[in-house]
């Protein structure tokens, strides 16, 4: 889908979108629309009593130059209160209606100045359009994938440089997010540790970042026993996926590590999940998908930062080979762990990946992103990710990135008290705490392995997928994390 800025309307119009807020004036459209069409719009507004309430949409056909022009009227929140996320929501409404109307050429006429910078407006326009039209329909025998050909923002401005720059960035962000969504939406019989590694390789080739894949032998030599224990029950071998973007050669030692949870299916292991708890567990590699998408985006944007992403990819299954409840494993760090619950597997893979990032890749700071706990879903629901940190200043930057990207976060505290819940009598740690506070104790477990480096822990168990359409997402994977992390890394340039 083409997305651009135009200064003129063509003679023959397919779809035209008129945005206005309550009590806003229609006169602003005078210079754009032919008189007869503007009269028709005014008559329609009177007949339907349209007052442009926020997120209200109306549509009618108007015959103009032998063509049925689809006219869409959109109510917007008043411009001083307009946030980027509100613009995204309104745009998503518009795009969905255009899909229904099978619009091909869409012209958007904002009837007022958006309270966003040109760059942000361009970004929001492109990312929302491309996120909203996304579909995962490759397994449907019959599809109805009629896409608009182009979306044009009509603006009376000579200087479209920042708008166009924003559009390009929005496209990069949306493409990377949709790449992550594809990986998460693919079922576990397609995405295995090996095919996930292949997907990382493919992205590396397409967007130009480095990639290395370690197999079993190498992982045994690295003594990643906690990670390997989780993967033992699967017929698919684990893989360690290492991706590097060296965007700042002047500061080679400054490396941000992104650690993504890559459980390609989480059955729970011998602490087996219920059918209901298991059905969506192909999404347990959404953290991995988020870091692959982020690498694609930052390489594409050529961000001036050094980032190394690590995914410990494996499958948590049951078999005669699987790890048992009660096993004691020695992590790569040397710390021993009593596995009191085989379903608390994500943290076992993450801590070996984190230790590897610090020990072998010389990471200066750590971000881990994981579909880690049902408790995070219980605490914050499905549109807010839970974050735990040991660095409030860095967290403040993440909050800014959250504001800009519209990916909501909320901080959970990591008070020392709950650390005692992870004490084991027979090993250095056990892998779960109490029946409550699970999102916090999972984070505290991980914190034991970050060696006091600045650390952000993002639990996306609730936000990685939607069970029904909402905002600019349809049902299924959201690619959460890609826009948040890319925006954060951009602010660290
Ligand atoms: N992958 C799950 C967490 C999860 C739950 C993700 C719901 C998405 C939706 C994780 O591996 C898990 O099973 N966590 C357990 C931990 C418990 C055994 C301490 C949980 O949250 O129940
Ligand atoms: Mn689990
Ligand atoms: Zn899991």
pLDDT tens for residues 295-335?
Answer: 999 999 999 999 999 999 999 999 999 999 999 999 999 99
Question: Looking at the predicted structure, is the pLDDT value of residue 146 above 90?
Answer: no
pLDDT tens for residues 38-82?
Answer: 999 999 999 999 999 999 999 999 998 888 999 999 999 887 778
CB atoms within 10 A of CB 458: 27
Among the listed residues 201, 273, 397, 490, the single catalytic one is 273
Q: What tokens does 461 get?
A: 């168990």
Band (pLDDT 50/70/90 cuts) for residue 113 is confident
Report which ligand 1 atom has the smallest distance to the Cα of 284.
1
Band (pLDDT 50/70/90 cuts) for residue 368 is very high
Q: Match 């009618």 to its residue by tokens.
A: 60
CA distance 191 to 265: 9
The CA–CA distances, whole Å, from 14 to 5, 30, 66, 70 equal 16, 19, 11, 6
pLDDT tens for residues 375-433?
Answer: 999 999 999 999 999 999 999 999 999 999 999 999 999 999 999 999 999 999 999 99
Residue 338, beta-bridge partner list = 328, 430
Question: Looking at the predicted structure, is the pLDDT value of residue 26 above 90?
Answer: no
Q: What is the pLDDT of residue 158?
A: 85
Taking Cα atoms as reference points, which of 277, 271, 196, 285 lies closest to residue 241? 196
Q: What is the pLDDT of residue 241?
A: 99
Pocket test for ligand 1, best of 260, 267, 343 (most atoms within 8 A of CB): 343
Per cent of the chain over pLDDT 70 is 100
Average pLDDT over residues 259-286: 98
Band (pLDDT 50/70/90 cuts) for residue 191 is very high
Catalytic residue flag (residue 220):
no
Which numbered ligand comes closest to the C-alpha of 373? 1
Q: State the chain's mean pLDDT as an integer.
A: 96
Output the CA 266–ligand 3 centroid distance in Å: 5
What letters, b where the CB count within 10 A reaches 16 and e where it falls short, cover 256-272? bbbbbbbbbbbbbbbbe
Q: What share of the chain is helix, strand, coil (3-state, %, to 5)?
A: 40, 20, 40
Question: Looking at the predicted structure, is the pLDDT value of residue 221 above 90?
Answer: yes
Output the CA 370–ligand 3 centroid distance in Å: 8
Report which ligand 1 atom has the smallest distance to the Cα of 441.
19
Residue with CA at minimum distance from ligand 1 atom 7? 374
């Amino acid at each position: 889908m083409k997305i651009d800025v135009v200064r003129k309307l063509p003679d023959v119009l397919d779809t035209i979108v008129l945005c206005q807020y309550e009590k806003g004036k229609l006169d602003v459209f005078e210079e754009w629309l032919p008189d007869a069409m503007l009269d028709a719009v005014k008559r329609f507004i009177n007949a339907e009593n349209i007052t442009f309430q926020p997120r209200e949409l109306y549509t009618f056909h108007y015959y103009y130059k032998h063509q049925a022009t689809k006219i869409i009227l959109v109510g917007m929140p008043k411009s001083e209160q307009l946030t980027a996320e509100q613009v995204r929501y309104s745009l998503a409404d518009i795009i969905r209606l255009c899909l229904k109307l099978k619009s091909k050429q869409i012209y958007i006429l904002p009837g007022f100045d958006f309270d966003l910078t040109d760059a942000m407006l361009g970004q929001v326009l492109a990312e929302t359009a491309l996120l909203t039209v996304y579909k995962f329909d490759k397994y449907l025998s019959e599809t109805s994938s009629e896409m608009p050909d182009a979306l044009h923002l009509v603006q009376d401005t000579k200087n479209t440089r920042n708008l166009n720059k924003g559009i390009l960035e929005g496209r990069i962000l949306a493409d990377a997010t949709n790449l992550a969504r594809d990986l998460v939406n693919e079922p576990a019989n397609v995405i295995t540790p090996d095919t996930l590694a292949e997907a990382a390789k493919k992205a590396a080739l397409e967007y130009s970042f480095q990639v290395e894949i370690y197999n079993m032998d190498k992982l045994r030599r690295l003594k990643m026993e906690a990670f390997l224990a989780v993967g033992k029950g699967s017929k698919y071998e684990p893989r360690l996926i290492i991706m590097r973007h060296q965007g700042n050669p002047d500061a080679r030692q400054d490396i941000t590590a992104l650690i993504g949870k890559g459980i390609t299916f989480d059955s729970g292991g011998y602490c087996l999940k219920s059918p209901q708890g298991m059905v969506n567990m192909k999404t347990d590699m959404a953290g991995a998908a988020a870091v692959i998408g982020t690498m694609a985006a930052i390489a594409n944007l050529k961000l001036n930062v050094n980032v190394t992403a690590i995914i410990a990819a494996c499958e948590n299954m049951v078999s005669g080979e699987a790890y048992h409840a009660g096993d004691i494993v020695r992590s790569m760090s040397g710390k021993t762990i009593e596995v009191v619950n085989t379903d608390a597997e994500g943290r076992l893979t993450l801590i070996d990946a984190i230790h590897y990032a610090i020990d072998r890749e010389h990471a200066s700071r750590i971000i881990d992103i994981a579909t880690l706990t049902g408790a995070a879903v219980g605490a914050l629901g499905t549109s807010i990710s839970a974050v735990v940190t040991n660095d409030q200043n860095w967290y403040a930057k993440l909050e800014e990135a959250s504001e800009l990207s519209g990916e909501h976060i909320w901080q959970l505290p990591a008070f020392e008290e709950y650390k005692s819940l992870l004490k084991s009598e027979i090993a250095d740690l056990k892998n779960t705490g109490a029946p409550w506070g699970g999102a916090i104790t999972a984070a505290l477990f991980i914190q034991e392995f970050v060696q006091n480096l600045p650390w952000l822990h993002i639990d996306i168990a609730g936000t990685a997928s939607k069970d029904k359409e909402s905002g600019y997402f349809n049902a299924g994977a959201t690619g959460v994390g890609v826009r948040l992390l890319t925006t954060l890394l951009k602010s660290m340039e």
